[in-house]
Structure 1
Amino acid sequence: MRSLNLCVPHKNRLRLSSWMMYRQVLHFNRNTFSSIKKCAISIALAVGLVTGTPALEFLGQANASAIAPALPDVSVLISGPPIKDPGALLRYALPIDNKAIREVQKPLEDITESLKIAGVKALDSVERNTRQASRALKQGRTLIVGGLTKSKVDDGIELLNKLEAGLDELQKIVEDKNRAAVAPKQKELLNYVGGVEEDMVDGFPYEVPEEYKNMPLLKGRATVDMKVKVKDNPNFDECVFRIVLDGYNAPIQRGKHVFLMMLIDCIIVFFSPADGFVVQTGDPEGPAEGFIDPSTEKTRTVPLEIMVIGEKAPFYGETLEELGLYKAQTRLPFNAFGTMAMAREEFDNNSASSQVFWLLKESELTPSNANILDGRYAVFGYVTENEDLLADLKVGDVIESVQVVAGLDNLVNPSYKIAG
């Protein structure tokens, strides 16, 4: 694969005040951003969330009917601590329904919060988490094994045995008051849990709509390593970002991305010089603003694809706001640093082509679990290793290689071509 140069086209350069930054978040797209007038309703909603300022006073009575139904529903999203770890988000996003394994997972995930307590006092909370997970594993093991796919029972049992032994090791770490060893062991145990949960997935859980069946589809998950050569950075000169693409919750976006990674010759990165809350990439060289199929000379696009918690299949072509689903929460939210999503034109939901972006930080205007990007743009994966280094990318850095290291066999229709 050829080296992929990262650069910023002049048309996409931004000089952001706090308000202009917020306009960018609201209407992130491949070309330009809307006027404040066109996004005033969404701005008012978010300002109301952060400051408590009534949106009606901000917009005036003329727009009251447009926003009144949304206010109570949006506020419902801010409840409980949001999940921000990409690994945890991916585990909870798996299409399984096994309460027993989730009861093992939850206290292990909670160790992250326990470790926020200063000093060795954190270990008291970690010990409770460990005992709870061990108890849940012993009590629920039969139900967990019963939930494994027949072809993966042996693998699942092996992982459960490793998990049980690892919990004993974690207990010993706590008894020895070795705080530094807790987080690595937690990660190891959660990897076992995630493996068991993946062994519970029996095939692809739903049918893709007929009009999209011939597109590249990722029916499962794929792991990608993106190697970047960094220019003029004294801290590091090379980095490999590991990305997990989740096709269970939006197979079209993920399939398209895996397919394009094998074809695109040049990628452009869009890095906001003022606020740096996203980094964008994926625009091929030349005047085109998306991926042009060389055999048809037409732009390949994909529909907006959003999976909502509680639904069996994604919604296509409409934002959750347009569907009136103000209380709905997406299965893959913009909670984590390194959340990866498709960029699109502002007023065309189905215009995503080749450009993608990563979320670099959580601002006061885009809090986790109440993020105005959720339900408007299609998330299709998370950076799970070296995500913090995304913020160091800049114009002139080079993507040296993109390699699918696992899950390529889940890609369906890789030779898709646009008809006509």
Structure 2
Amino acid sequence: MAHKPYLQKHTIQHRSNQHPLKRLDFKLKECAISIALAVGLITGMPSYADANVNLNSYNWALPDLSVLISGPPIKDPGALLRYALPIDNKAVREVQKPLEDITESLKIAGVKALDSVERNVRQASRALKQGKSLVVSGLAESKKEHGLELLDKLEAGMDELQQIVEDKKREEVAPKQKELLNYVGGVEEDMVDGFPYEVPEEYQSMPLLKGRATVDMKVKVKDNPNVDECVFRIVLDGYNAPVTAGNFVDLVERHFYDGMEIQRADGFVVQTGDPEGPAEGFIDPSTEKTRTIPLEITVKGEKAPVYGATLEDLGLYKAQTKLPFNAFGTMAMARDEFENNSGSSQIFWLLKESELTPSNANILDGRYAVFGYVTQNEDFLADLKVGDVIESIQVVSGLDNLVNPSYKIAG
């Protein structure tokens, strides 16, 4: 039977006697990619390899070296979500960037970090004063009042952050920074006027998330003296993955995942979603068949996703995705490796960088559909083990963005 790294039933460790990931093949794959990456950087030759393809015949090009060295990749899930919004407002981005740079400033030891933080705050404040009219003009008319309230809170909050820096209260900087960036993100969301494109006709009747939604996933942890129960906050991005995110929210509302165990946790990914029985996905009771969804990838610079094809299939070897596998806790849809449109209910969260998954040069990007990020308690994902139980997943905001909810039809 062909090896399917993220969907095939034998990858679920507690349900099979077969080796869960064919670890030898996996290690050989990592080794091959390490060598190929080094060769590619030196020679410019294609540098990625798939475990099922001969290196000599593999023709997927490495992204330009400039992509790899253009700057540190964005790994913060909040920042990734902000930049993924379908807006084009330079003025608000010029406020956002220095506030995000405070994270780097705080890596400096002691109170010296505050000098750098102060520069960040002054730059952000100046950008907001100079560009406020352009920010306001970018707000959607239906959301303008809310956006203006957030801008007032942002201005007041930056004054408060300036005072925190002057008082040398270093420990208060990061919480205030997070608060301010939440305001910025809210302003940017208020710039989105409706859903920005039409989903292809063949998918229009499926559950679709036309916007963002937030869910809380409560997990009961077994055999871990440090963690007993943890709630993970996850933001789902329907702007860039409406079909994938909509399918997931629909299953959440059906309580499909409640009581389900973590089925894979190997330090590379955490995975769940394989129901009991022979089926590898969600059986829709209205059809008595497995509900599958298409592979859905949004490329930077494009307004709508591409469906049913990997970026490799399309020859977009240098394209970057709007929702990359950069952040710890990146959430994606599992599928059969050899069938693009076989996603159903199995989901996984990426944990670690390796030769396989370096941020900004990631062979998972464009092959699997990312549809959200864990934004709170993501570090605890690494503590999860096979057999830990998802007690519940609940939508805490954005349910009104779900259209065609099949769970309501099912009653």
- When normalised by structure 2's length, the TM-score is 0.88
Is the contact between residue 218 and residue 254 of structure 1 (CA under 8 Å) also seen in structure 2? yes
Question: What's the offset of the Cα at 1:21?
Answer: 4.7
Aligned to 1:28: none
Change (3 A) 1:126 1:144: same
Q: How does 1:207-226 map to 2 (within 5 A)?
A: 207-226=198-217
RCO comparison, higher one (Cα < 8 Å, 6+): 1
Which residue of 325, 328, 343 corresponds with 1:334? 325
Q: What is the aligned counterpart of 1:271 among 236, 249, 264?
A: 264
CA pair 111-285 structure 1, distance change in 2 beyond 3 A: same
Describe the SS at the equivalent of 1:70: coil
| Deviation at residue 384 of structure 1 after TM alignment | 0.5
- Find the aligned partners of 1:250 and 1:53 in 2 and give their Cα distance: 36
Aligned counterpart, 1:75: 65
Structure 1 residues 62-92: Cα deviation after superposition (integer angstroms, max 9, x where no partner) = 965642x713x35343131100000110011
Alignment partner of 2:293 out of 297, 302, 307: 302
What is aligned with 1:35?
none
Q: Give 1:49's aligned residue.
A: 37
Aligned amino acid, residue 93 of structure 1: A
Within the candidate set 110, 124, 141, 1:119 is matched to 110
- The alpha-carbon deviation at position 57 of structure 1 amounts to 10
Structure 2 unaligned blocks of 5 or more: 1-11
Q: Which residue of 2 aligns with 1:363?
A: 354
Q: Secondary structure at the match of 1:239?
A: strand
Partner in structure 1 of residue 89 of structure 2: 98
Amino acid at match of 1:200: M
SS of 2:313's partner is helix
| Equivalent residue, structure 1, for 2:370 | 379
Distance in 2, Cα, partners of 1:12 & 1:392: 24
Which runs of structure 2 are paired with 1:168-247 in the superposition (5 Å)? Answer: 168-247=159-238
Contact 1:47/1:53 (8 A) holds in 2 = no
Show the 5 A alignment for 1:22-61.
23=29, 44=32, 47-50=35-38
Partner of 1:10: 16
% identical aligned pairs: 74
Deviation per CA, 1:33-59, whole angstroms, max 9, x where unpaired? xxxxxxxxxx75554325757668999
Q: 1:17 to 1:294 in 2, by over 3 A?
A: closer
- What's the secondary structure of 2:341's corresponding residue? coil
- Distance in 2, Cα, partners of 1:57 & 1:344: 24
Q: Secondary structure, in 3 states, of the residue corresponding to 2:326? A: coil
Is 1:290–2:296 an aligned residue pair? no
Aligned to 1:37: none
The answer to whether residue 140 in structure 2 is matched with residue 149 in structure 1 is yes
Taking structure 1 as reference, are residues 15 and 289 closer, same or farther at Cα in structure 2, changes over 3 Å only? closer
Judging changes above 3 Å, is the alpha-carbon distance between structure 1 residues 372 and 46 closer, same or farther for their aligned structure 2 residues?
Answer: farther
List per-residue Cα deviations over 1:141-169 (Å, max 9, x = no partner).
Answer: 11111111112111111111111111111
CA drift of 1:270 comes to 2.9
Change in Cα spacing, 1:22 to 1:403, as seen in structure 2 (3 Å) is farther
- What SS does structure 2 have at the residue aligned with 1:77? helix
- Asked if the contact 1:268–1:280 (Cα under 8 Å) also holds between the matched residues in 2, the reply is no
Q: Distance in 2 between matches of 1:191 and 1:74?
A: 33
Give the direction of change, closer, same or farther, for the CA distance of 1:402–1:417 in structure 2 (3 Å limit).
Answer: closer
Matched-pair contact (CA < 8 Å) for 2:260–2:391: no
User: Shift of the alpha carbon at 1:363?
Assistant: 1.9
Identify the range of structure 1 (109-118 vs 241-250) with the bigger mean alpha-carbon deviation.
Answer: 109-118
In 2: Cα distance, 1:301 partner to 1:410 partner = 21
Change (3 A) 1:151 1:171: same
Query: What code does the residue aligned with 1:387 have?
Result: E
Note the C-alpha offset of 1:14.
Answer: 2.9
Aligned partner of residue 312 in structure 2, secondary structure = helix
What displacement does 1:416 show?
A: 7.7
Q: Aligned partner of 1:328: which letter?
A: A
Distance in structure 1 (CA, Å) of the matches to 2:72 and 2:405: 40
State the alpha-carbon separation in 2 of the partners of residues 139 and 213 from structure 1. 42
Closer, same or farther: CA 77–12 of 1 in aligned 2, 3 Å: farther
Give CA deviations for 1:337-366 in whole Å, capped at 9, x if unaligned: 000000000110110010000011112431
Q: Given residue 350 of structure 2, which amino acid in structure 1 is its aligned partner?
A: L
Q: Which shows bigger deviation, 408-417 or 88-97? A: 408-417
Q: Give the TM-score normalised by the residue count of structure 1.
A: 0.87
Deviations 1:204-263 (A, max 9, x none): 000000000000000001100111111121112111111100000010000000001122
**Residues 305-327 of structure 1, C-alpha deviations (whole Å, 9 max, x = no match):** 00011001101111111111111
Aligned alpha-carbon RMSD (Å): 2.5
The 3-state SS of whatever aligns with 1:228 is strand
Find out whether 1:133 has 2:124 as its counterpart: yes
SS of equivalent residue, structure 2 residue 117: helix
Gaps of 5+ in 1: 1-5, 26-42
User: 1:33 corresponds to which residue?
Assistant: none
**Aligned: 1:20 with 2:26:** yes
Cα offset, 1:272, TM superposition: 3.9
